């Protein structure tokens, strides 16, 4: 499955897929990676992102790649969430939210969930624009040079790369049909 995500992302980066779709997928994956899974907030955001026009390969790949590093900064997420949840001006809003059916299942009152949500919202746009720029720069300056190099030709003959290429062909066949 991981190989299919990589293949989908490689196809998208090298094809005429809009750079914004790739960047949005990666930024949404970044936001989901910042949130602890297993709560209604994560599931709701995942479903919203799943049914929007973003690159799902980029989303899934970024979730997978960033989940472990984000776990290592859970203390920072806790601090940000604790700060937000203990603001006296917001206590009434949080109390009202907690009394709405199903909202407590989002675990918004968990410091790590709130910290991840705040961090993800604040960093989503900068992350999106950075990745969009990187995709455009790659396409303009590096794609053709890398594809024609001897190293790339040898690399494409490796068994793992052959497997990724086969997965990419299957994926591109799905998208074409």
Q: Residue 80: which of 119, 42, 50 has the closest Cα?
A: 119
At residue 177, the pLDDT reads 44
The CB density around residue 168, as the number of other CB atoms within 10 Å, is 19
User: How far does the chain reach from its first CA to its final CA, in angstroms?
Assistant: 20
Residues in the chain, total: 177
Q: Is the dihedral of CA 57, 59, 62, 63 positive or negative?
A: negative
Is the model's pTM score more than 0.85?
no
At residue 1, the pLDDT reads 60
How remote is the C-alpha of 119 from its chain's centroid?
14
Write out residues in the chain with pLDDT < 70, as ranges. 1-3, 5, 16, 152, 156, 168-169, 171-177
Q: Domain locations in the chain?
A: 2-176
At residue 174, the pLDDT reads 53
Give the pair of three-digit tokens for residue 59.
């989303």
């Amino acid at each position: 499955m991981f190989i299919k995500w990589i293949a989908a992302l490689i196809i998208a980066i090298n094809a005429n897929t809009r750079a914004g779709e790739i960047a949005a997928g990666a930024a949404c994956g970044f936001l989901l990676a910042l949130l602890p899974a297993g709560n209604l907030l994560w599931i709701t955001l995942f479903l919203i992102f799943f049914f929007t026009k973003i690159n799902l390969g980029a989303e899934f790949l970024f979730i997978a790649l960033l989940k472990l590093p984000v776990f290592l900064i859970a203390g920072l997420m806790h601090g940000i969430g604790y700060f937000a949840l203990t603001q006296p001006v917001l206590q009434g809003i949080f109390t009202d939210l907690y009394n709405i059916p199903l909202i407590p299942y989002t675990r918004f009152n968990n410091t790590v969930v709130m910290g991840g949500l705040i961090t993800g919202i604040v960093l989503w746009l900068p992350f999106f624009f950075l990745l969009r720029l990187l995709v455009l720069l790659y396409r303009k300056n590096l794609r053709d040079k890398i594809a024609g190099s001897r190293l790339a030709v040898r690399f494409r003959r490796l068994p793992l790369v052959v497997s990724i290429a086969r997965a990419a062909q299957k994926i591109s066949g799905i998208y074409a049909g």
